[in-house]
Structures are given as structure tokens and as C-alpha cells.
Amino acid sequence: MLILKENIKSIIETTDDELDFFLGKCSNKKFKKKEFLSSANSIPNEVFFIEKGLVRVLLNNSKGAEITSFFAGENQFISNYSAFLSKKPNPYAIQALEKTEVIVLSREAIEWGYNNMKEGNKLGRLIAEYYFIQFEYRILDQYLLTPKERYENIEKVFPNINQRVPQRMIASYLGISPVHLSRIKKEI
Amino acid sequence: MLILKENIKSIIETTDDELDFFLGKCSNKKFKKKEFLSSANSIPNEVFFIEKGLVRVLLNNSKGAEITSFFAGENQFISNYSAFLSKKPNPYAIQALEKTEVIVLSREAIEWGYNNMKEGNKLGRLIAEYYFIQFEYRILDQYLLTPKERYENIEKVFPNINQRVPQRMIASYLGISPVHLSRIKKEI
């Protein structure tokens, strides 16, 4: 849990005591490739911090087609955060794309942090703001960039993603067909 | 500023003293129809709380076409929040669609709140989380609902929007052509 600890220390003022108590409420968990960290249409009660591995967020659209909407890798938080926050189920699921090791931050641990850590709410605010910005820029890219430019950007956002993920998932994430993606790759 | 005061009181524990000091740092501003609250490619230093009126968020896409990406009305906060938070300019602008009266929450006021209000960071966290959820559900709707269903939903999200906004902006918000929108309206 060292990296998560350093990560939190870089964001807020905290003490080792406070952090150790918080992390004592968190647990480690391993997932096999293809296993689900979080299933669709349920209310998740945790946020994951990825220590090792890679996951994707997916859902089935109105036509029953599977969409890959997001990837997350080492040292990133991932959660069906809107379902976690609103306590309302939604169709998003989270699946491991490699053997994945995570720290599980349970709702209880997170709420303990808000109520007891001196800057717990500040941490929560900065994390929510960070993901809000990520979201906004992803939408902005769809308005402003061509599929080719977005493909070229994907490596910056998710290093080595091309070597780690099937092309059909990358195409789905970019909102284009696999045929369109292979045409773009030939062009480059 | 009464409604904003009640609004904040309903979200966090605070005192009249704390709130009066905070609101003392805020100011009232009026905008004419078509006037810009916030211009594209600038770094905004404020969040607006709309007391009266209606605004839209807009941008020009890569082909130079104007897109309406969001609306906000009475008793809602609106800001180019990602540019405000990241202090990086982006192409979003905010324009009044009617005579609009807002409370301006300056960066200075907001930072004062984080540093001095007992639950200032909690307020910031809950607001960022709220807008995160809104964002996520808007993206989810695009995956799960047909344009017709999204059109039928728009009144729930923005009451009376159909009477207040040109149809071409509603079509743009829904991501469909004005012709497609008028076909949907004939069907209903």
C-alpha cells in the first residue's frame, strides 16, 4: 500500500497515524484476467486503487452491443463512481484485462476518512474534481479531434495500451469500427 | 442571495456568520440576452449561481460548427469548471439565452470557503461529485437512449426548455440535426 500512501501524502496534509488507520480499513484483492471487479446493475460499495494490472469499464448499449468506455491502469483509482456516490445501480461494469492487484477502499473506509481525517473532504474534493476534468477533456476530444488524433493520443493517456488490449476494445473506446481503426493504423 | 444561502445550508452544516462572510465576498451581476458570462479560450475565475434566466455552454467543434453542449437555469451552478479548476483555457464559452441574473462566486471567495468554512471542502466535494454524476448520466443516456427518448427527457432535466430555447440548440445538445428533431416532434 506504499504507493497509495505516497499518493495521498502528495495530495493532502496528513499524518502517518491517520493514514495507517485509514489504510487499516482497506484490503488487498487479486483478480484474474477477465474477472469482474464490479458487475453491472449493482450498487458498488468500494473504490479500487490499481497496484498492478489493467481494467476496463464496459456496458451494453441500447442495441445490446458491448461498449468499452474507459481503461485504467497502475496507480489509478477506478470505480463505478456515479453508482457508488448515488447508490443507484447503472449498467457499467469493471473487468480485469490482465491479472490485476488492487487496494479496496470500502465505503466504510472512505466515510471514516471524511469524518476523521483532517483533510479527508479535501482529498475527496480533489479526486472528484480530477475525474471531472478527465471526463470533460474526454468529451472535448470527441468534439475537437479526429479519430486519428484521438488514436494517437490514447498512448499518452494509457501508456502501452496498444500492446495490452485487443484492438476491438480500443476501437470501441474511440467510438469507431475495428475496420476504421485498422485503416488509421495503416495510415500512420 | 437567499436561495443560494438556503441551498448551501441544505448541503452542509454552517453558521449564519460563516455564510454571511462568504456571501460578502460574492457579487451580483446581470447579463443581457446573448451576452457572454465566460468566453472561450480564457481562464475563468468564477462560478456562477443563476438566480434568474437561462444560459448555455457552447463551443466550436473541429469543423468550425457551433455546438450547444449544456444548458443551465434557475438555482443551478454553472461554470467552465474544468478550466476554472485546471487553470487551463479551453474552447467552452457560456452565453445568456435570456436576461440573466447571477451571483458571482469568485475564485477568492471559493478558496476562502475551503480554507475557513468548517465544511467548505465537504461542500466543494459534494458539488464536484454532483456534477460528476450529472456528466456520467448524460454520457450514459447517449449510450442507452434513442434520440426520441433523450428529447422526451430533456424537459425533465431542463423544465420548459422547449419554450425558452431555439430548436437548433436543442438539436445540437441532443447531437442530432434540426431536421431529425422536427421529425421526432411530429412523431410525438
User: Is the model more confident about A32 or about A188?
Assistant: A32
Half-sphere exposure of residue A30, counting CA atoms within 13 Å on the CB side? 2
Question: Residue B95 CB: number of other CB atoms within 10 A?
Answer: 18
Read off the pLDDT of residues B101-156 as tens digits, 9 standing for 90 and up: 999 999 999 999 999 999 999 999 999 999 899 888 888 988 899 999 999 988 88
Give the three cell numbers for residue A29: 484483492
Provide the CA A116 distance to its chain's centre, in angstroms.
Answer: 26
Q: Which long-range contacts (CB under 8 A, 24 or more apart) does A149-155 make?
A: A150/A174, A151/A181, A151/A184, A151/A185, A151/A188, A152/A188
Give the pLDDT confidence score for residue A106 in this predicted structure.
Answer: 96
Read off the pLDDT of residues A39-59 as tens digits, 9 standing for 90 and up: 999 999 999 999 999 999 999
Q: Which amino acid is at B72?
A: A
Q: Nearest CA to CA, how far is A31 from chain B (Å)?
A: 26
Asked if B69 reaches chain A (Cβ–Cβ under 8 Å), the answer is yes
* pTM score, whole prediction: 0.91
| B112: helix, strand or coil | helix
What is d(CA B145, CA A63) in angstroms, rounded to the nearest whole number? 10
Q: Is A85–B132 a contact, with Cβ atoms under 8 angstroms apart?
A: yes
Q: Which of B124, B145, B146 sits opposite A125 (nearest CB)?
A: B124
What is the mean pLDDT of the segment spanning B157-172? 90
Rounded (10°) CA dihedral A128, A132, A135, A141:
-140
Binned at pLDDT 50, 70 and 90, residue A30 comes out as: very high
What is d(CA B188, CA B173) in angstroms, rounded to the nearest whole number? 19
Q: Is B62–A145 a contact, with Cβ atoms under 8 angstroms apart?
A: yes
ipTM: 0.90
Give the pLDDT confidence score for residue B14 in this predicted structure.
Answer: 96
Asked if A132 reaches chain B (Cβ–Cβ under 8 Å), the answer is yes
Q: Give yes or no for residue A62 having a pLDDT over 90.
A: no
Asked if A67 reaches chain B (Cβ–Cβ under 8 Å), the answer is yes
